[in-house]
A and B are shown apart, each in its own frame.
Chain A
Amino acid sequence: MKYLYFPGCSLKSTGKPYEESILSVFRALDVDIEELKDWNCCGATAYMAVDELKSFSLCARNMALAVKQHGEGNGEPVQLVAPCSACYSLLLKSQHYMEENPEVSRVVKTALKEVGLESEGLSQKVRIRHPLDVLANDIGIERIKDQVKKPLTGLKVVPYYGCLLVRPYATFDDPYNPTSMDRLIRALGAEPVDWALKTRCCGGTLSGTIQGVGLRLSYLLLKEASRKGGELLLTACPLCQFDLECFQGGMNNRFQHNVQMPVAYFSQLIGKAFNLSDREVGAQRLFIPMKLEAAAP
């Protein structure tokens, strides 16, 4: 199957290692993936707070571009891969409301027409996918297992899914107790840590606005992850990764507690288990080096 890749703004800056590792892992698995040309921002939570119809129209433009780039195909929908949870969730939300609400659909269609884009049936012609979904369900755990050259035996890895990846519009995993990442971790030879905060919010943009609140939410996650014996925490969203990794210094000052938890993208760990180089998975861009060997018992 062929995939189109929608990076979103974060994967071109703070989430650069996410982009590098996703593309490298797909390449290692021989999966055809190509970037969506001339994509625009999904609108994130900010557009939703200012103007919802504009937010939907921004998402719809990306979908219309995807349909155009995909061409007729063989009548199959285009598979649009959005690695950022906010992009992923917003694209799904736009599809949902374009179907549910005739007023939304009318406004979006009119707006797309003015920029010369086709808007018919975007919700059917485009399938929004998260790379975690693609890896766990399309490519499959077995094929990933076969590629593992350096098993991460015994490493205690904490799967953190965050909020928007599993709710409210996603359907590829359980919204309360998702397991796709757990299964991937096991396929790499590592040991997934079972914990209750898998889908609890990391604080999102609050880390940049109301730090007292944002850092506290992230801190709770890290503290619980280390209490459970986690040696490395995995995320599937650039904002979660940024919040949980980059502000650890700030958290340690604020809460007088030394958490030193490496936080990487799930795709980076897969890449390392495939024996890809640090550069291929963007490991050199992390603030805290990734941990790949289990602590001695």
Chain B
Amino acid sequence: METRDRTPDQLVDLGENVHRLIKYEGELDQGFAAEVARLAHGEKFYTCIQCGTCSATCPVSHYMDFTPRRIIAMVRAGFREEVLRSFTIWLCASCYSCTADCPREIKITDVMYALKQIAIKEGIYPKRFPIPVMAQEFYKIVKKKGRNNEGKLMMNLALKTNPFSLLRYAKVGLKLFRTGRVTLREESIRNHGEIQTLLGAVDRAREAAK
């Protein structure tokens, strides 16, 4: 995966292909760390010792533009834009290896979730990038029916990101259909409105606390 282009005046070449992004204090978002800590259930992430266990144990870290260890450091320092625009937060497959292994008991998976929530709320992610699109399509289907339909989810995802990918999945899709493992009949709970009421109530309860 390509690393995103960064503004050249902020990239400092340290030689031997090592680049560091530098910022003055005034350019950093000082409140970012607190915002993430609140969403990710933990003050503990301030105690990160930057040991890199999370990056070592992560099965997808070598595909990431910033490793989990660096993400934690960047969140603490206030690199808001860079973190929210990174591919890292979306590549996290949520396997909890890092959370299980962290010597400081930081819930790194929850930190990644918190970052995804902020990025989706603010619409900061590459257009047609499938992972946040999938999360939102899933969200919509369940909100409407109370249950997900895997076939419909894959279809909606392809249509919203790359319709040609349907061809790539056609063979698997057909086999699933033939073996009765995917259906067009949508499962749903008895009273559709109930999930919408439930989710609406969450929004209201959250607002009431503010």
Contacts and interface: CB of A to CB of B under 8 A. Distances in A.
**Main SS at interface, chain B:** helix
A249 interface: yes
A164 B96 contact: yes
**Main SS at interface, chain A:** helix
Contacts, number: 180
B189 A40 contact: yes
B96 A10 contact: no
B180 A285 contact: yes
B41 to A, nearest CB: 6
A49 B154 contact: no
Contact of A175 (B60, B100, B136, B176): B100
A115 B194 contact: yes
Contact of A247 (B135, B172, B182, B194): B172
B135 to A, nearest CB: 4
Contacts of B150: 9-10, 13-14
Contacts of A45: 94, 135
A145 interface: no
B99 interface: yes
Contact of B202 (A16, A111, A208): A111
Contacts of B142: 40-41, 43, 47, 58
B88 to A, nearest CB: 12
Contact of B201 (A103, A111, A250): A111
Nearest to A285: B179
B53 interface: no
Contacts of A48: 94, 113, 116
A112 B150 CA distance: 26
A210 B116 CA distance: 16
A103 B113 CA distance: 18
B80 interface: no
B28 interface: no
Given A13-B181, A46-B135, A210-B130, A163 B146 contact: no
Contact of A115 (B60, B93, B179, B197): B197
B93 A51 contact: no
B201 A114 contact: yes
A184 B39 CA distance: 40
A252 B102 CA distance: 35
5 contacts: A41-B142, A49-B116, A100-B41, A110-B205, A201-B97
Interface of B: 39, 41, 59-60, 63, 91, 93-97, 99-100, 109, 113, 116-117, 120, 130-132, 134-136, 138-139, 142, 146-151, 154, 157, 168-169, 171-172, 175-176, 179-183, 187, 189-190, 194-195, 197-202, 204-206, 209
